[in-house]
């Protein structure tokens, strides 16, 4: 009998987020060890183009030493501090000012947290606190959209319009989901884009009237849905829904976790899609993925109300130990400098047309129903039958198949239901865009061939 237990596999103690835990037990994870420009390398030395910038965030790639230097300098000066009880690291106060200066609509103040999910929870708590302080405690309901992704804390999950939230018995009562503004998939037979938009506006109005405007704390929306499958809203969407929200005094929260800082081609997704939010959430690109951080920006009017509410309750009783971390803030200041002053956004503007034109050329491929996107983000929606737009059965996992085949060829792209999505680093060159899409072409042809 062998009394010595086999050494546990190096990675077996690691519990993976958003992964199929069963199949991982058999196949094991891909262990990544290094990054260089738009590439990451696994432990065997194989190199992959990161077609999703990690999780949309590593916009400056994986080897920007300016960010490492900014972190290192801050680690030597003030390596850790908080922002509770009226204190603030100097670097964090500077970042707040910088964000207010570049906000897409006038904003007064910035609250920092560690993740997009925490930022969304923060916003909901702010809205609920205002409602209570202002004598309207029934104002607790929240409007979101089917297909939207807003994170993984209890509130972030609750605002997410995806089926899997049922795994947690969520959403709770009081989160109301509106139709996803995706004309290609949600538009009815014979319905024009303008008619589709009218239907969405009518749905919003009817929902508010049915629920009672005075029971609704706010509406949350990404300017363009990201993890819902890169879904630009139907033309004119925000211009049409904002007057309805304003008429009913319902604040609009723009979740710019993905779209903030350039991804859509403007600095903010709100600029690309004409969103005029009362609150903005940003994360991901704010530190180019080099540090966990998020920000909630509030308008002056909202800030005044929050200050009054904090007097009512004695303080604003909310915060995270490492929110406003000075090292994260030092990195974010450097990211903003690199994006705005060192030519990265100009470079981005130069490569977007090539990215979009190669992406959209796949609309002609037999497997692709819709090729869509904006800026440096895009999706290919895979269909079993082009004329009817019928998707493959979900157990066929067509997105997974494509992503796995691309992975074998050295490209990381993300499957999302029936689509695969692209959000490469902003530093990508034109020739790297071509290399990426050449791999996509070969991958789609391979998957198509396997179906014959």
Question: Which residues lie near ligand PLP (CB under 6 A)?
Answer: 55, 115-117, 120, 149-152, 156, 222, 226-227, 255, 257-258, 283
- Residue, CB closest to ligand PLP: 116
Residue 254 or 339 having the CB closest to ligand PLP: 254
Nearest distance from C-beta of residue 114 to ligand PLP, angstroms: 8
Residue 92 or 144 having the CB closest to ligand PLP: 144
Residue 151 or 369 having the CB closest to ligand PLP: 151
Residue 149 or 302 having the CB closest to ligand PLP: 149
Nearest distance from C-beta of residue 284 to ligand PLP, angstroms: 7
Residue 178 or 444 having the CB closest to ligand PLP: 178
Nearest distance from C-beta of residue 52 to ligand PLP, angstroms: 11
3-state secondary structure the chain: CCCCCCCCCCCCCCCCCCCCHHHHHHHCCCCEEEEECCEEEECCCCEEEECCHHHHCCCCCCCCHHHHHHHHHHHHHCCCCCCCCCCCCHHHHHHHHHHHHHCCCCCCEEEEECCHHHHHHHHHHHHHHHHHHCCCCCCCEEEEECCCCCCCCHHHHHCCCCHHHHHHCCCCCCEEEECCCCHHHHCCCCCCHHHHHHHHHHHHHHHHHHHCHHHEEEEEECCCECCCCCECCCCCHHHHHHHHHHHCCCCEEEEECCCCCCCCCCCCHHHHHCCCCCEEEECHHHHCCCCCCEEEEECHHHHHHHHHHHHHHCCCCCCCCCCCCHHHHHHHHHHHHHHHHCCHHHHHHHHHHHHHHHHHHHHHCCCEEEEEEECCEEEEEECCECCCCECCCHHHCHHHHHHHHHHHCCEECEEECCEEEECCCCCCCHHHHHHHHHHHHHHHHHHHHHHC
Residue 258 or 367 having the CB closest to ligand PLP: 258
Nearest distance from C-beta of residue 68 to ligand PLP, angstroms: 21
Residue 369 or 424 having the CB closest to ligand PLP: 424
């Amino acid at each position: 009998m062998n009394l010595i237990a086999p050494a546990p596999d190096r990675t077996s103690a690691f519990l993976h987020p958003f992964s199929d835990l069963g199949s991982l037990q058999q196949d094991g994870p891909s262990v990544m060890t290094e990054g260089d420009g738009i590439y990451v390398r696994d432990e065997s030395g194989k190199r992959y183009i990161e077609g999703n910038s990690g999780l949309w965030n590593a916009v400056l790639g994986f080897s920007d030493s300016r960010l490492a230097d900014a972190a290192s300098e801050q680690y030597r000066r003030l390596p850790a501090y908080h922002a509770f009880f009226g204190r603030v690291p100097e670097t964090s106060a500077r970042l707040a000012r910088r964000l207010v200066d570049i906000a897409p609509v006038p904003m007064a103040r910035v609250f920092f947290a560690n993740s997009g999910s925490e930022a969304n929870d923060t916003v909901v708590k702010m809205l609920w606190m205002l409602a209570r302080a202002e004598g309207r405690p029934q104002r607790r309901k929240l409007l979101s959209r089917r297909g939207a992704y807003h994170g993984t804390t209890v509130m972030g999950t609750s605002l997410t319009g995806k089926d899997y939230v049922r795994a947690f018995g969520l959403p709770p009562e009081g989160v109301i989901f509106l139709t996803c503004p995706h004309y290609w998939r949600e538009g009815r037979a014979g319905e024009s884009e303008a008619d589709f938009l009218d239907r969405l506006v009518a749905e919003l109005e009817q929902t508010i009237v049915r629920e009672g405007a005075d029971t609704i704390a706010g509406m949350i929306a990404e300017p363009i849905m990201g993890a819902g499958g890169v879904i630009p809203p139907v033309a004119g969407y925000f211009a049409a829904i904002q007057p309805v929200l304003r008429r009913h005094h319902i604040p609009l929260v723009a979740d710019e976790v993905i779209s903030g800082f350039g991804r859509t081609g403007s600095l903010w997704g709100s600029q690309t899609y004409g969103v005029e939010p009362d609150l903005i959430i940003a994360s991901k690109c704010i530190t180019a993925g080099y540090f966990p951080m998020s920000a909630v920006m509030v308008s002056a009017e909202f800030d005044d109300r929050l200050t009054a509410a904090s007097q009512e309750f004695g303080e604003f009783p909310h915060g995270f130990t490492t929110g406003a971390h000075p090292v994260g803030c030092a990195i974010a200041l450097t990211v903003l400098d690199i994006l705005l002053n060192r030519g990265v956004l100009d470079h981005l503007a130069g490569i977007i047309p090539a990215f979009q034109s190669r992406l959209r050329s796949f609309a002609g491929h037999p497997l692709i129903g819709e090729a869509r996107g904006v800026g440096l983000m895009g999706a290919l929606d895979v269909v079993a039958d082009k004329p009817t737009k019928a998707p493959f059965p979900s157990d066929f996992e067509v997105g997974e198949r494509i992503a796995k085949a691309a992975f074998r060829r050295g490209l990381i792209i993300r499957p999302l239901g029936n689509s695969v999505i692209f959000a490469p680093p902003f530093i990508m060159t034109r020739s790297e865009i071509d290399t990426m899409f050449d791999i996509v072409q070969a991958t789609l042809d391979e998957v198509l061939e396997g179906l014959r």
